[in-house]
Amino acid sequence: MAIHKIDGVDGTLNFPKKFVTLLCNGAITAGQWVSVDISLTTNGLGGAVVKAPATANGATMVVGVATETTTATGNVKIQTAGKYENAYVLNAVAAGLLDLVVDTTAGSASAAAAGDLVSPCGCTLEAASGNLADVMIYDKNMF
């Protein structure tokens, strides 16, 4: 079962953030975008995640960004909403609240293009530096 926690909502200068702990299928690095994995049914369908795959027109069911690194199948904490610092993005991503999708590189977001068929998973808060950028994760209300 997913553990849901809302953090940072009490302070006046805090960004509200939302976290969930789920089973992950394989290696994930902190900062990579993850999506629901329907091939792993240990916790029932929808109870596991995988590094968001590179998929033409955008990866489906992207739920957030991994906040910790795992090298094999096991539990991983995921931020599903709010500001995340140093998320994986393509190096060409610019600042300016550009909508993001995962399409060309697994686990990394890029600016949404006209041909993308999925809803954005977040937006940029700053230009990418070394394939990392601060982002705002859109809450998809899955968890």
72 CB neighbour count, 10 Å cutoff: 9
How far apart CA 120 and CA 134 sit, in angstroms, is 16
Mean pLDDT lowest for which of 1-10, 11-20, 30-39, 75-84?
Answer: 1-10
137 touches 125 (CB < 8 A): no
Confidence of residue 8 (pLDDT cuts 50, 70, 90): low
Q: Is the pLDDT of residue 14 over 80?
A: no
Higher pLDDT, 72 or 70: 70
Confidence of residue 114 (pLDDT cuts 50, 70, 90): confident
Amino acid found at 84: Y
How far apart CA 96 and CA 108 sit, in angstroms, is 18
Q: What is the pLDDT of residues 48-58, one digit of tens each?
A: 999 999 998 88
What is the distance, to the nearest Å, from the Cα of residue 111 to the centroid of all Cα atoms in its chain?
14
123 touches 95 (CB < 8 A): no
Which distant-in-sequence residues (6+ apart) come within 8 Å of 34 by Cβ?
A: 24, 28, 49, 50, 51, 52, 62, 63, 64, 65, 66, 76, 78, 107
Per the prediction, the chain carries an average pLDDT of 87
What's the pLDDT at 11? 53
38 touches 53 (CB < 8 A): no
The ranges assigned to domains in the chain are 3-137
pTM over 0.75: yes
